[in-house]
Structure 1
Amino acid sequence: MSGTGLGDLERQQFAPHGKMRIGIAFGKSISGVWTMPDPETGEPVGITVDLGAELARWLGLPFEYVKLASSGEIIETANQDRWDVAFTPVDADRKKVVDFTTDYYLGDSTYLVHADSPFRSVKDVDLEGVRVLGVENTATIRSARRTLMNTTAEGLNSLEDAIERFRRRDADALALGRESLMGIARSLPDTRILDDHFHATGTALAMAKGKAEALELATQFIEEAKRDGLIEKIVLSHGLSASSVAPSGSRS
């Protein structure tokens, strides 16, 4: 992809402190939004790491990553001058806080359950007394709570805590995006992922409100990156399916 020129206003909106600060969800798996540490260097690895770097190159800006505990924390800090661009799943609540580009990734959320669990579908999980865990302030846990009629989902502050409690069998089901669960399941062999889902949405680049000019450029970048095959290349490089790349113009 060829780069683009920035005017003074766009430069100020993308990098008000000189570097573009890229907010990333830093955890223990890779998905359309989650990143994880490189086992040797500890540096973040994932789709949003690569996509953020490509955006900075396209804009001709220096950049740095801001590691946050979840997409929920990304949204919580949107107006605290912690980051300039970030990547999160889209939902109606988040649209009240930030503005989004078009989607770059489509995904669904479901449950990870123990291998000996009787649950075969998301409806089976919705029983009184079933213990469901997720990450607080994420689109996934909000959707789980909306769809669970007979039990409730407990949200924890970090993905690591949720995984550990599930591993200790202090929960019957772990609610998360499917791609994240696929990575987690590889380290938890006595588990399985339910085939159906309770939530599906797109993931997009987010910016604080009031940056219309920069948002327009960021949307242009996302659409060019889909059309030129860059996003597909990044997604495949992390072992995820090219079918998850959002189509041209997709908005959630």
Structure 2
Amino acid sequence: MSTPLSPTVVSAFTPTGALRASINLGNPILAGRDAATGEPVGVSIDLARAFADRLGVAVELVVFEKAAASVDAVRNDKADIGFFAIDPARSEGLRFTAPYVLIEGSYLVPAGSAIRDNDEVDRDGQRIAVGSGSAYDLFLTREIRQARIVRVQGAQGVMECLRAGQAEVAAGIRQVLEAEAARDAGLRLLPGRFMVIQQAMGTPASRGPEAAAALAAFVEEMKASGFVADALARHRIQGASVAPAGGLPA
């Protein structure tokens, strides 16, 4: 049974009276729009509603199309919680929980490409298309030494860039790229993954350590209780797994 949250913690998360949850629609593993109603739906929305219920307040969804804008909303106190990939470049002004979901990042190439393995991507003269400000962008900015990163807007922009021949490689969520390759015989997914994305919840650091600890405990409870696994199944999400207690396995 969960421990009731103190009035201090509730107040820290609800300066406007409701819980404002920053939602990134750019990650289809976690959020999207209902085909019938157009309303946001997904794992992150389910978690936001559950945490609002825990606080005993209403939830307000603050919706964005890309990760960077969603992060900025929380960092600038325009939202009270958010759902982000953990990355050192995002740590300033934020407090992250341990991850609740792990997602694989993979590469997609034209079917006729000479590239056969992830290790062959970082070569001089090659271009990697990636969503600007995404977890992949942040990771590849640190790791890529020879190839050039081409930053575009969102997953659709990445695919347009690859198909137009403006990049030799596309980087993104494995599930999304896998679906593109299944639909288009002119594309091929490289085997394996180049990174594991740790999706976590976050809150402004200004809300204090007690609030950060309460959010961290909530995430651990949602994993242990089966809530996250049930949400993934309910939204028919493949290509993602529930993170182990405390984070990544040793």
TM-score class normalised by the smaller sequence: 0.7 to 0.9
Shift of the alpha carbon at 1:205? 0.4
SS of 2:211 mapped into structure 1 = helix
Give the direction of change, closer, same or farther, for the CA distance of 1:45–1:172 in structure 2 (3 Å limit).
farther
Q: Distance between the aligned counterparts of 1:187 and 1:38, measured in 2?
A: 22
- 1:148 partner letter: I
Give the direction of change, closer, same or farther, for the CA distance of 1:208–1:246 in structure 2 (3 Å limit).
same
- 1:67 partner letter: V
* 8 A Cα contact 2:5 2:214, kept in partner: no
- 2:243 partner letter: A
Query: Could you tell me which of 240, 243, 248 is aligned with 2:237?
Result: 240
TM-score, normalised relative to structure 2:
0.87
Q: Which runs of 5+ in 1 are unaligned?
A: none
Q: Distance between the aligned counterparts of 2:139 and 2:42, measured in 1?
A: 24
* Matching residue of 2:32: 36
* Matching residue of 1:226: 223
SS of 1:171 mapped into structure 2 = coil
Q: Percent identity?
A: 27
* 8 A Cα contact 2:24 2:67, kept in partner: yes
SS of 1:210 mapped into structure 2 = helix
- 2:237 partner letter: L
* Matching residue of 1:8: 7
* 8 A Cα contact 2:74 2:204, kept in partner: yes
1:98 aligns with 2:97: no
SS of 1:103 mapped into structure 2 = coil
* Matching residue of 1:80: 76
Query: Could you tell me which of 208, 212, 222 is aligned with 2:204?
Result: 208
Query: Could you tell me which of 182, 195, 199 is aligned with 2:191?
Result: 195
Q: Distance between the aligned counterparts of 1:43 and 1:243, measured in 2?
A: 23
CA RMSD of aligned residues (A): 2.4
Give the direction of change, closer, same or farther, for the CA distance of 1:161–1:48 in structure 2 (3 Å limit).
same
TM-score, normalised relative to structure 1:
0.86
- 2:189 partner letter: I
* Matching residue of 1:23: 22
* 8 A Cα contact 1:134 1:153, kept in partner: yes
Corresponding residue pairs, total:
248
